[in-house]
Chain A
Amino acid sequence: MKKEKIKKKAKKPDLESLKSKALWLRKKVLDMAVNCGTGHIAPSFSCIEIVVALYYTSFLKTNPKKPEWKNRDRFILSKGHASLALYPVLADLGFFPFSYLDRFGKNNNYLGVHAENEIAGIDVSVGSLGHGLSIGAGLALAAKTDKKKYRTVVLAGDGECHEGSVWEAALFAASHKLNNLILIIDYNRLSAMGFLKDYQDIEPFEKKWESFGWDSIFVNGHSFESILPGLLEANSPGRKAPLAIIAKTIKGKGVPFMENKPIWHYRVPKGSKLAAARRELTKGDNR
């Protein structure tokens, strides 16, 4: 019993250290993409604070020494094209050596644009949109059936919610009262080609989740002051339904000329643009 209590008394996250971790992660994402000449920088920048909040607070229980630890929380990066935002974190936590990051996307490599489950710390292979929530629902259902404590967290894109399978999974998760399933949506309102509202609108988004039987909350996806209380909501003992955390974000966040510009969905800056991007990220050092 005592041990349980100690576990629950998690250290209060230090906001400044989370912010500098987020800045470090943005720089790593840019460096890796530039080194390889490919990668989704802007979609990764969109979810940097979310990934940092999940892995550098006591929220997500993982064990880098035992990646297959049975009671680990499961994390599915359903918007798999943002794998660049996850690899440096996994290396930093000790799932695999930092040297792997240098080989991202190169011949005979270990890490590709979309993460695969053969990589330590990756539970589910990703890359095709609209798959993660169903798999997460299966994992969450198994945990409930087997009375296991682990939670399943799925990070999806808002453009990804164009996939019908997301809504099949939404119905399923609510019907099975999967209150151990947390969906975080990187709500940047952009997909590869443009603003969702201009071609396939998903609004009213929060109401959709609620009408599907989910609990839903809005957070500012770039503010730890907003994300952390949102994650705490997931721990609320009285919750009966799955939880959708809609994290309002900016695609390309951190480099102003990339922000909200569809063209940067899958483009790597070169020359003066690269120098400008690096300058923007260095500005953050003096924050």
Chain B
Amino acid sequence: MKKKKEGMREVFFKELFKLAKKNKKIMLLSADIGAQCHDDFRKKLKNQYINAGVAEQNMIGVAAGLAMAGKIVYVYSITPFVTMRCYEQIRVDLCGMNLPVAIVSIGAGLDYSTLGFTHHGTEDLTLMKALPGMAVYSPCDNTMAKMLVNETYKGKTPQYVRLDRRGFPLIYEKEKDIDFQQGFSHLKKGKDLYIISTGRMLLNALDAAKRLPLDCGVIDLFRVKPFNKDNLELILKKVKYVASLEEHFTDGGIGSSVSGLLAGLKHRPLFKPIGLNNQFCRSYGSRKYLQNICGLDAESVAKNILNWISNNG
């Protein structure tokens, strides 16, 4: 039988487990999810693992108390539940007191494609970006998800990590190609257009770039906040067109950050935000199918960009 490829959560929690064995201050709190990827914690580090039950508000408050007492705390659940259900606790208890708790979510965008909109992560970046002091990470593959364990471990502020269930195929073969100080990667250089994307949508961005009859560059914005405006500006101001691509509502997501940057330029490129329109995805099926009907597959993205450029030549 073919072994199932590991996804981001498997590599993330495997790495966290290794660290937690060495540092007993690390604690992992789950809101009753994480069946297999938390097995090691559950069995071998019982004092460092808590199933906080289906009670996310309390989980964040407890995490705040633990962090105040010197613990290094990770909390985990499905994206909407660990961000929206307990948003005010995150705002007041974590951000209001600047506590280094890492919020790890699973299910970026339409990842839980058969579970319906209640399980879609389509507003989380907007919400997390809005909070003072919150660092926001959106990894695109397993290499980066694994590195984020060490990155969040070192973090001194509240942090949000948006995991996707899938982390293969890899976008980064080598860890040295990921620079967390920079916060983004210049994956492909371009002279006419840049697509700036995040998470697994990077695969679609790279694919769309190939389909376009233009010299199209691709940027991976994996550290959504703090947003490295200055260095991104140096790249984006050189081209005529910039598009953002995200599996997230366009309102408030990475497109908003990019548009804010571009608006401040004297000679600015034309900008096209691509993502989910501000409506819930009410369909079910495969992730690919949902991306397709939402216009986020590579072919639709390439067509969309080409149409836009033709109309704004």
A128 to B97, CA, bound (A): 13
What's the minimum C-beta distance from A179 to chain B, rounded to whole angstroms? 16
Interface set, chain B 33-64, CB cutoff 8 A to A: 47, 50, 52-53, 55, 57-58, 60-64
What's the minimum C-beta distance from A74 to chain B, rounded to whole angstroms? 8
Number of chain B interface residues as a range: 20 to 34
Contact B62 A127 (CB under 8 A): no
Interface set, chain B 165-202, CB cutoff 8 A to A: none
Contact A142 B69 (CB under 8 A): yes
A146 interface hit (Cβ, 8 Å): yes
Contact B61 A142 (CB under 8 A): no
- Minimum CB distance partner of A132 in chain B: B61
- Minimum CB distance partner of A130 in chain B: B57
Contact B70 A124 (CB under 8 A): no
Q: Which residues from B are CB-within-8-Å of A127?
A: 92
Known: A123-B68, A124-B97, A146-B69. A137 touches B53 (CB 8 A): no
Using an 8 Å CB-CB cutoff, how does the interface string of B67-105 with A read, 1 for contact, 0 for none? 111110000000000000000110011001100000000
Contact B64 A135 (CB under 8 A): yes
A140 interface hit (Cβ, 8 Å): yes
What's the minimum C-beta distance from B148 to chain A, rounded to whole angstroms? 24
Interface set, chain B 221-253, CB cutoff 8 A to A: none
Contact A168 B69 (CB under 8 A): no
Q: Which residues from B are CB-within-8-Å of A169?
A: 58, 61-62
B66 interface hit (Cβ, 8 Å): yes
Contact A138 B62 (CB under 8 A): yes
Q: Which residues from A are CB-within-8-Å of B52?
A: 172
A141 to B64, CA, bound (A): 11
A188 to B17, CA, bound (A): 47
A135 to B66, CA, bound (A): 8
A174 to B256, CA, bound (A): 44
A124 to B65, CA, bound (A): 9
Q: Which residues from A are CB-within-8-Å of B60?
A: 134
Contact B93 A131 (CB under 8 A): yes
What's the minimum C-beta distance from B27 to chain A, rounded to whole angstroms? 8
Contact A168 B57 (CB under 8 A): yes
Using an 8 Å CB-CB cutoff, how does the interface string of A135-151 with B read, 1 for contact, 0 for none? 11111111101101000
A38 interface hit (Cβ, 8 Å): no
Q: Which residues from A are CB-within-8-Å of B61?
A: 131, 133-135, 137-138, 165, 169
Contact B93 A135 (CB under 8 A): yes
Contact A145 B92 (CB under 8 A): no
What's the minimum C-beta distance from A144 to chain B, rounded to whole angstroms? 10
Contact A138 B57 (CB under 8 A): no
Contact B70 A142 (CB under 8 A): yes
Contact A172 B55 (CB under 8 A): yes
Contact A139 B69 (CB under 8 A): yes
What's the minimum C-beta distance from A174 to chain B, rounded to whole angstroms? 12
Contact B96 A168 (CB under 8 A): no
Q: Which residues from A are CB-within-8-Å of B62?
A: 134-135, 137-138, 141, 169, 172
A125 to B58, CA, bound (A): 16
A271 interface hit (Cβ, 8 Å): no
What's the minimum C-beta distance from A130 to chain B, rounded to whole angstroms? 8
11 more A-B residue pairs beyond the given contacts A134-B65, A142-B69, A171-B58, with a C-beta to C-beta distance below 8 A? A116-B96, A117-B97, A124-B97, A134-B60, A135-B62, A135-B93, A138-B68, A141-B66, A142-B70, A143-B69, A169-B62
Q: Can you list 19 contacts pairing A with B, beta carbon distance less than 8 Å?
A: A116-B96, A123-B68, A124-B68, A125-B97, A130-B57, A131-B92, A135-B61, A137-B61, A138-B62, A138-B66, A142-B69, A164-B57, A165-B57, A165-B58, A165-B61, A168-B55, A169-B58, A169-B61, A172-B55
Q: Which 3 A-B pairs have the closest CB atoms?
A: A138-B65, A134-B61, A142-B69
